[in-house]
């Protein structure tokens, strides 16, 4: 096979690889061959079991990739505790509320949602984490975009019927329902229905239609204190 | 060499930077040590991310074998050639460059991988973009003085030298000098200036 004639002093102006490679079987399309390593949930659990990551590395596994879970600020912590309190009051005896604990979802995800309502009791999950939930809630400030797109896609693929995001930026509750196939989303699934609720609204979880969560209750009662400028506090 | 030096184009890191968890070199080596990652996993650690390498087409493999022979003849006894084995680059990388020339003998690295090199060569087919922008920045950050890419698609050798800080590069460093050489041209490795290698003898 003779090589085609080429220019001898080519300065790369772009990373254009051309679109094809010549092989004994003819021309085949080129593709970028360097991709991030994908973790299965099974392999990821070995990391946890071996204790490879330190206490400062709080992570979760989302669709085969590992992400850091950020430390919580006080609004996030308060909102979470308020939601835990509200939800414990309205769920029935056959369910319990799990705050920031792992869920084994599909083959390649182990998220730690801020809140998951799961059937059964804590005792039922000594040996394995739950594999589904009737309601998942994420409390989001800086993570809003990824909670909507990446986590939304993972929860939809897992068939989680009721996914809420409490938006700490504007104190609105975003409710996502009707998981369905969606070619544009990272996992191929997304929620078809999205409704946003504000301070005057109430929402009932799909699994507890008589329960009431008032969005107004998910806010601080007093506005933040402002420091006086130029004076000692 | 007849080609004038060209300034390497650098990419904005923002759109390429993912927000995944970043591994330190130590944690990655523990994964390997504990058998969570094994020799069945063709992976490298680059800038805290674990990346997968594809199985090699024959031109790539031939390039590695040819390069091992050619470099082996060119260097002296105080150095040796290593092919596709780990290079530990603190704080967050452990690539497996196709060809590396290292000071010392193989026995010097029984207890730990080498942490530097006098020359790195990557044989590039479809990994060209990655080898230029990502690995280029990584090796520049590590202060590797001489970095070559065998651009198999174009049949040329790209020579990168003089690593400098560069805020637009992925790891904050890049090579400020770059030359492209054709098959009839010759290259002298910085560490072995009396050695002259014909590019066509190096490329597969």
The region that residue A110 occupies, defined by phi over 0 for left and psi between -120 and 50 for alpha, beta otherwise, is beta
- B78 min Cα distance to partner chain A (Å): 33
Nearest to A139 by CA among A185, A96, A171, A97: A171
Query: Could you report the predicted ipTM of this complex, rounded to two decimals?
Result: 0.79
State the burial class of residue A175 (Cβ atoms within 10 Å of its Cβ: 0-12, 13-18, 19+).
buried
Provide the residue-wise pLDDT of chain A in tens; the chain has 233 residues. Answer: 444 443 333 334 445 444 455 555 554 444 455 788 999 999 999 998 899 987 778 899 999 999 998 888 999 999 999 999 999 999 989 999 999 999 999 999 999 999 999 999 999 999 999 999 999 999 998 889 999 999 999 999 999 999 999 999 999 999 999 999 999 998 999 999 999 999 999 999 999 999 999 999 998 887 666 656 655 54
Contacts of B151 in chain A (CB under 8 A): 12
* Cβ–Cβ under 8 Å, residues A136 and A155: yes
Evaluate the omega torsion of the peptide bond into residue A73 and state whether it is cis, within 30 degrees of 0: no
In this complex, is the C-beta atom of A27 within 8 Å of any C-beta atom belonging to chain B? Answer: no
Residues 6 or more apart in contact with residue B187 via CB below 8 angstroms: B1, B148, B157, B159, B181, B196, B197, B199, B202
DSSP character string of chain B: --SPPBPPP---SGGG---PPPPPHHHHHHHHHTTSS-TTS-EEEETTEEEEPPPPPHHHHHHHHHHHHHHHHHS-TTEEEEES----BTTTBB---SEEEEES-GGGGSSS--S--SEEEEEESTTHHIIIIIIHHHHHHTT-SEEEEEETTTTEEEEEEEEEE-TTSTTSEEEEEEEEE-TT-EE--TT-TT--EEHHHH--
B130 touches chain A (CB under 8 A): yes
Q: Which residues of A touch B137 (CB under 8 A)?
A: none
CA distance readout (Å), B54 to B67, B122, B134, B142: 20, 14, 17, 25
Place of tokens 């944690």: B27
Residues of A within 8 A of B130 (CB-CB) are 32, 34
**With contact defined as beta carbons under 8 Å apart, do B135 and B46 qualify?**
yes
Across the interface, of A8, A35, A66, the residue whose CB is closest to B20 is A66
Is B27–A52 a contact, with Cβ atoms under 8 angstroms apart? yes
- Report the percentage of chain B scoring pLDDT > 70: 91
Look at B126 and A50 and tell me if their CB atoms are within 8 Å: no
A10 at B interface, C-beta within 8 A: yes
Q: Locate the chain B residue with the closest alpha carbon to A7.
A: B182
B126 to A31: CB separation less than 8 angstroms, yes or no: yes
Look at B21 and A59 and tell me if their CB atoms are within 8 Å. Answer: yes
**Are β-strands A35-36 and A59-62 bridged in parallel, bridged antiparallel, or unpaired?**
unpaired
End-to-end CA distance of chain A: 82
The pLDDT of residue B13 is above 50: no
Tokens at residue A109, please? 């995800």
Does the CB of B77 have a partner CB in chain A at under 8 Å?
A: no
Question: Considering CB atoms only, which of B51, B125, B133 is closest to A35?
Answer: B51
Question: Rounded CA gap, A11 and A134, in Å?
Answer: 58
| Tokens (6 digits) for B138 | 């990584």
Rounded CA gap, B204 and B200, in Å? 8
How does pLDDT run across B170-184, given as a tens digit for each residue? 999 999 999 999 999
What contacts B145, CB < 8 A, 6 or more positions away? B118, B119, B161, B162, B163, B190, B191
**Region B138-164: what's the mean pLDDT?**
97
Contact state of A47 with B41 under an 8 Å Cβ cutoff:
no
Q: What is the DSSP letter of A200?
A: T
Closest CA–CA distance from residue B204 to any residue of chain A (Å): 11
Does any CB of chain A come closer than 8 Å to the CB of residue B54?
Answer: yes
Any A CB within 8 A of B153 CB: yes
Query: How far is Cα A232 from Cα A98, in angstroms, rounded to an integer?
Result: 43
Residue count of chain B: 204
pLDDT of residue A227: 58
- Chain B contact for A7, CB < 8 A? yes
- And the tokens for B14? 């923002």
Classified as helix, coil or strand, A47 is helix
A16 backbone dihedrals φ, ψ, rounded to 5°: -60, 120
Interchain contact, B20 vs A36, CB within 8 Å: yes
Tokens of B141: 């950050």
Q: Which residues of B touch A64 (CB under 8 A)?
A: none
The token pair that represents B93 in the structure block: 């990388």
CA distance A170 to A73: 16
Write down the pLDDT at residue A152. Answer: 96
The Cα B173–Cα B47 span in angstroms is 12
Residue B99 near residue B202 (C-beta atoms within 8 A): no
Q: pLDDT band at residue B15, thresholds of 50, 70 and 90?
A: very low
pTM listed for this prediction:
0.81
Query: Tokens 């031109």 appear where?
Result: B59
Q: Does B158 touch chain A (CB under 8 A)?
A: yes
Residues of B in contact with A149 (CB under 8 A): none
Please enumerate in sequence order all residues whose Cβ is within 8 A of that of A58, keeping only pairs 6 or more positions apart, or say none.
Answer: A68, A69, A71
């Amino acid at each position: 096979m003779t090589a085609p004639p080429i220019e001898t002093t080519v300065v790369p102006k772009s990373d254009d690889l051309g679109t094809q490679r010549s092989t004994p079987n003819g021309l085949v399309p080129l593709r970028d061959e360097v991709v991030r390593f994908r973790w299965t949930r099974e392999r990821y659990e070995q990391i946890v079991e071996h204790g490879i990551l330190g206490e400062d590395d709080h992570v979760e596994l989302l669709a085969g990739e590992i992400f850091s879970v950020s430390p919580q600020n006080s609004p996030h912590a308060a909102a979470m505790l308020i939601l835990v309190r509200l939800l414990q009051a309205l769920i029935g005896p056959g369910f319990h509320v799990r705050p920031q604990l792992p869920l084994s979802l599909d083959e390649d995800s182990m998220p730690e949602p801020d809140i998951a309502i799961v059937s059964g009791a804590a005792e039922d999950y000594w040996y394995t984490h739950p594999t589904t939930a009737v309601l998942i809630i994420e409390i989001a400030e800086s993570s809003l975009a990824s909670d909507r797109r990446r986590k939304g896609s993972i929860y939809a693929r897992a068939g989680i019927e009721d996914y809420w995001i409490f938006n700490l930026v504007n104190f609105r509750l975003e409710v996502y329902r009707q998981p369905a196939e969606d070619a544009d989303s990272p996992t191929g699934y997304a929620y078809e229905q999205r409704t946003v609720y504000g301070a005057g609204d109430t929402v009932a979880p799909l699994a507890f239609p008589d329960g009431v969560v008032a969005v107004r209750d998910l806010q601080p009662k007093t506005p933040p204190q402002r420091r006086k400028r130029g004076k000692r506090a | 060499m007849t080609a004038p030096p060209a300034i390497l184009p650098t990419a904005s890191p923002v759109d390429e930077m993912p927000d995944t968890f970043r591994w330190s070199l130590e944690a990655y080596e523990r994964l390997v040590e504990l058998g969570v990652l094994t020799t069945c996993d063709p992976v490298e650690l680059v800038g805290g991310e674990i990346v997968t390498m594809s199985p090699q087409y024959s031109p790539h493999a031939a390039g590695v074998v040819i390069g091992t022979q050619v470099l082996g003849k060119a260097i002296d006894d105080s150095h040796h050639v290593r092919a596709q084995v780990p290079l530990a680059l603190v704080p967050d990388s452990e690539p497996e460059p196709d060809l590396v020339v290292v000071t010392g003998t193989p026995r010097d690295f029984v207890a730990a991988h080498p942490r530097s090199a006098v020359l790195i060569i990557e044989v590039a087919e479809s990994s060209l973009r990655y080898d230029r922008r990502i690995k280029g920045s990584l090796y520049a950050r590590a202060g590797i003085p001489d970095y070559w890419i065998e651009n198999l698609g174009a049949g040329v050798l790209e020579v990168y030298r003089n690593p400098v800080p560069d805020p637009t590069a992925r790891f904050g460093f890049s090579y400020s000098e770059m030359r492209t050489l054709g098959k009839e041209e010759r290259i002298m490795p910085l560490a072995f200036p009396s050695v002259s290698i014909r590019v066509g003898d190096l490329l597969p």
